[in-house]
Amino acid sequence: MFFSSVLVRRVFCMMPEHVANFRFTAAVRTRTRPGQEELEARLAVELNSSELNTYRSAMLKLFSVWSSMEEYLQARGFFQDFPYLRPLLRADKLRRDLKTLSGGLDEQVISLPDVNSVGSTQMAAYGLAYAWSNSIHSVQVLILQLHRGLHLTRKNGATFLFLDDSLECREAILEFLAWLDLNLAPHSSEVAIDAALKAYTFFNGV
């Protein structure tokens, strides 16, 4: 399995002060903010559209990135070590929604980002997982603000918009972010930050 099943906790009292004061999530959030804001601005328009083609195009973009990210993380045993993040998986829900809206989905013609380009290290996977979970949270925040012009529901093409338990999923994301802060140190986090940055180029460049 790619990830150790025993998640080692660092003891901050034994760390140098500059390491103990480091917070990965603060660093990665600052660096990825432009990409995240670009993604949210686009989705605020596309997911709120009253035009089915515009909405479906947004779903295809999300599907191409989320499915690639989830496949990457699944292959590395990520969800075996972080099982509480499984309820956030979106690809299958999007696949069903796209089939509902169009009567079918030819995945062979969908352009997929080269997620493997982030690298194969554990730190790269952590960075990708940060962007994956954060993008899902962004969509959940957005849908509370949108009137959803097409008035889609779980039954007619918007399953992916609804988490099974939004509070539980929010707590799961916060738990994962806390884990990152506890376990990623400055000297090893740059690879993770670079992977998160690349993830947002996938979202905004597809």
Length of the chain: 206
Q: What percentage of the chain's residues is helix, strand, coil (to nearest 5)?
A: 70, 0, 30
Average pLDDT in the 118-146 region? 89
Q: Which domains does the chain have, with CATH numbers?
A: 21-78+85-205 (1.20.910.10)
Average pLDDT in the 90-105 region? 83
Q: Look at residue 13 in the predicted model and tell me its pLDDT.
A: 33
Average pLDDT in the 145-156 region? 75
Residue 50 has pLDDT above 50, yes or no: yes
Q: Read off the pTM.
A: 0.85
Average pLDDT in the 58-84 region? 93
Token pair 């690298």 in the structure block, residue? 119
Residue 59 has pLDDT above 60, yes or no: yes
8-state DSSP, 114 = -
Residue 197 has pLDDT above 90, yes or no: yes
134: left (phi over 0), alpha (psi -120 to 50) or beta: alpha
Average pLDDT in the 118-137 region? 95
Most confident option among 46-50, 128-132, 164-168: 128-132
- The answer to whether the CB of 186 falls within 8 A of the CB of 19 is yes
Average pLDDT in the 29-37 region? 95
Residue 145 has pLDDT above 60, yes or no: yes
Q: At 147, is the pLDDT very low, low, confident or very high (cuts 50, 70, 90)?
A: low
Q: Tokens for 18?
A: 């500059």
Average pLDDT in the 101-111 region? 70
Q: Look at residue 48 in the predicted model and tell me its pLDDT.
A: 81
Rounded CA separation 87/164 (Å): 7
Q: Which amino acid is at 73?
A: L
How many Cβ atoms sit within 10 Å of the Cβ of residue 168?
Answer: 11
Our CA dihedral for 10, 15, 19, 21, rounded to 10 degrees, sits at: 90
Strand runs labelled E in the chain: none
